[in-house]
Amino acid sequence: MLSGNLAEFPLLRLLETLMGTARGGVLRIEHPSFVGSIYLEGGHPIHAEAGGLRGLEALELLAGLKSAPFRFDSEPNTRERSIEPGLETHQLIVHQFEAWNEIKLPDNWTLTLQAGSIQGPTQLSPLEASVLAQVQGKSLAQALMSGRLSPLETAQVLSKLLRMGLLEARNHLAIEPEPLVVLTLYGGGQGVAAIDEELFVRWQGLVGGGFMVRLRTKNQEATLRPEPRINMQGRVGLFERDLRQLRLSRGVSVKVWPEAR
C-alpha cells in the first residue's frame, strides 16, 4: 500500500510512477469535499470517479487538486470501464494537468464563492454570467463538480471571475451550522428567519456583508432572509406560512447557517 499527500507527491508524478511500474489497483484521494478514485490496470487508468463525476471528467477534476491525502491499494475491485487506456488518453491527461497549471484558483477548494466587492456594469459573456449566477454560496469544489461545463472549463471561468473581483472565495469552515429551536412568528410574513441580533452580527462579520440563512430540517433545506431580533438566543423565528411549507412546528430543532447573498 502506498499513501501520502498530493502536496508532496503531485498526482501526475504519482500516475506516471504507477504507469512506469505497470501497477494495477485503485488510487483513492480523500478531499474534504469529495472522495475520488482512479482505477488502474497495467499502470493505465481504466475508470475514475470523483464526487458525482465519472471517467475523464472525474480525472480532470482530480488533476486540479494541489493537496489531498491519497492511498493506493493494489487490489483492483471494479469492472467498470469509463476510460479507454492508451497513449492518446495519457496525452489527454498530461494536457489536463498542463491546463490546470495555467489556471489561478485557490488551492483550498473548501472556500465558499461569494459576490465580490466590484459593483457597476461589467462586460461578461452569457456563459460567464451564467456561471456567476450559479456558483454563489457554493464551495469551489461544489462549483467545479456541479456546473454544465467540464471542471476545467468551469475553473477557467471561475479564475477569470475571481480575477475581475466579481467573485470572492472566503473561508467558511469557521461557520458551524447553529442548532436553533423553532419559534412561531405570527402575521402574514414569509421567507424570513428571525435570529438573535448577536448571532446576526457575528454571521455578518464572518460572511462579510449581506447574507441569507440556510435552514435544514430533517427532510429539506430552505433559504430565508435573516432578520435580527433581540432575545432570540437559541431560537429561529419563522412565520406560520413558512412553518406549514417546511412541515415544521414550534420547538423543533433545526440547523441554520449563513450563506453569502
Partner 1 sequence: MDILTLNDYVNRAVYGEWMMLVFILVGLYLSLRTGFPQLLRLGVALRETLGAIRERFLSFGGQITPFQAAMVAMSATIGTGHIIGMVGAVVLGGPGAVLWMWVAYLVGMATKFSEAVLAVHFRRQYTDGSVLGGPMVYIRYGLGRRMAWLAALFALFTAIAAFGIGNLSQSGAVGAALAQEFNVPPAVTGLLVALLVGILLAGGIRSVARFAQMIVPLKLVLFLLAILPLIVIHLESLPAALALVFSSALSFQAAAGGAAGAAVSLGLAEILKAGVGRGIFANEAGLGSAAIAHAQAQVDHPVRQGFWGLTEMLLSLTVTTLMALTFIASGLWQRFLGGDRVEAARALFAEHPLGVAMLGLMLAVFALGTMVSWGFYGEEGAAYLFGEGIRWPYRLTFVTFAFVGPMGGLAALTSVADTLNGLMAIPNLVALLALGGLVGRLVREFFSGMPWQPPEED
Query: Residue 153 CB, nearest distance to partner 1 (Å)?
Result: 45
Exposed, middle or buried by CB within 10 Å (0-12, 13-18, 19+), for 119?
A: exposed
Could you give the CA distance from residue 104 to residue 108 in angstroms, rounded to a whole number? 12
Which C-beta is closer to partner 1: that of 119 or that of 231?
A: 231
Neighbours of 24 (CB within 10 A): 16
Q: Which phi and psi angles does 26 have, rounded to 5°?
A: -130, 130
Query: Residue 226 CB, nearest distance to partner 1 (Å)?
Result: 12
Q: DSSP H helical segments within 35-136, as ranges?
A: 55-63, 87-102, 126-135
Which C-beta is closer to partner 1: that of 210 or that of 251?
A: 251
Which C-beta is closer to partner 1: that of 26 or that of 185?
A: 185
Which C-beta is closer to partner 1: that of 123 or that of 231?
A: 231
Query: Residue 220 CB, nearest distance to partner 1 (Å)?
Result: 22
Site residues (vs partner 1, CB under 8 A):
181, 183-189, 192, 194, 196, 227, 229-235, 237, 239, 250-251
Query: Residue 199 CB, nearest distance to partner 1 (Å)?
Result: 11
Exposed, middle or buried by CB within 10 Å (0-12, 13-18, 19+), for 247?
A: exposed
Q: Taking a C-beta distance cutoff of 8 angstroms, is the pair 144, 109 a contact?
A: yes
- For residue 86, which amino acid is it? G
- For residue 63, which amino acid is it? A
β-bridge mates for residue 122, sequence order: none
Query: Residue 194 CB, nearest distance to partner 1 (Å)?
Result: 7
Which C-beta is closer to partner 1: that of 32 or that of 234?
A: 234
Which C-beta is closer to partner 1: that of 47 or that of 235?
A: 235
Q: Of all residues in the chain, what percent are helix, strand and coil, respectively (each to 5)?
A: 30, 30, 35
Find the distance separating the first CA and the last CA of the chain, reported in whole Å.
45
Query: Residue 184 CB, nearest distance to partner 1 (Å)?
Result: 8
Secondary structure (DSSP) of 142-202: HHHHHSSS-HHHHHHHHHHHHHHTSEEEE--TT-PPEEEEEEEE-SS--SEEEEEHHHHHH
Which C-beta is closer to partner 1: that of 100 or that of 239?
A: 239
Query: Residue 251 CB, nearest distance to partner 1 (Å)?
Result: 5
